Amino acid sequence: MKHLLTTILLLFIGLTSANVARAQEEEPPPISDERLKEIKAQKTAYITTKLGLTSEEAQRFWPVYNEFDEARDKLRKEMRDLMKGGRKEGTKLTEAEAEAMLTKGLQLRQKEIDLERTYKDRFVKVLGAVRTVELHKAERDFQREVLRRYRERQGDDRRGPPPGRP
């Protein structure tokens, strides 16, 4: 039994390592600033529609949301940079470096949670609690749609066809 568990663990680690290596090799090209602006405009329209914002609500909501989104993007960029630093080609992390990365990663995730907590109160003041929950759903739905369209353009069939499609 012990040997079976060890074998399964080693197989899992090997497969995971291969997937990580392949993902690193297939890093997508950067998105242009123009395309990012276009996506941001689409996101604004999508969220405005999904939340059914009136023009008065939109005037109060979007400055708060844009401030939140910018702060969240900075934290996420810091997290990406941290993870990229740990994947330098041809080098191995020391235990101390890995421990420092893990600690810093947790600190960044906590900062993001704190940010969300702070802005939740501000969103509730502008939108109410129900539409604040709908905001989070609209963000996730928009992100999924952008990723789906990106994969279609890239001809990415690694994940297979969507459910219900051959």
**Structure confidence by residue, pLDDT tens digits, 60-99:** 999 999 999 999 999 999 999 988 876 666 678 889 988 9
Query: How far is the C-alpha of 134 from the C-alpha of 140, rounded, in Å?
Result: 10
Q: For the chain, give the percent of residues with pLDDT over 90.
A: 56
Position 88 scores a pLDDT of: 66
Contact 98, 106 (CB under 8 A): no
Position 137 scores a pLDDT of: 96
In tens, the pLDDT along 116-157 reads: 999 999 999 999 999 999 999 999 999 999 999 889 988 755
pLDDT at 16 over 60: no
pLDDT at 18 over 60: no
Q: For the chain, give the percent of residues with pLDDT over 70.
A: 73
pLDDT at 109 over 90: yes
Position 2 scores a pLDDT of: 45
The stretch 3-15 carries a mean pLDDT of 45
Residue of 43, 72, 60 lying closest to 125 (CA atoms): 60
Position 83 scores a pLDDT of: 86
pLDDT at 1 over 60: no
Contact 80, 120 (CB under 8 A): no
- For 26, 64, 95, 97, the CA distances from 91, given in Å and listed in that order, are 19, 42, 13, 12
Structure tokens at 56: 């008065």
Q: Sorting pLDDT into bands at 50, 70 and 90, what band is 103?
A: very high
Domain boundaries defined on the chain: 33-154
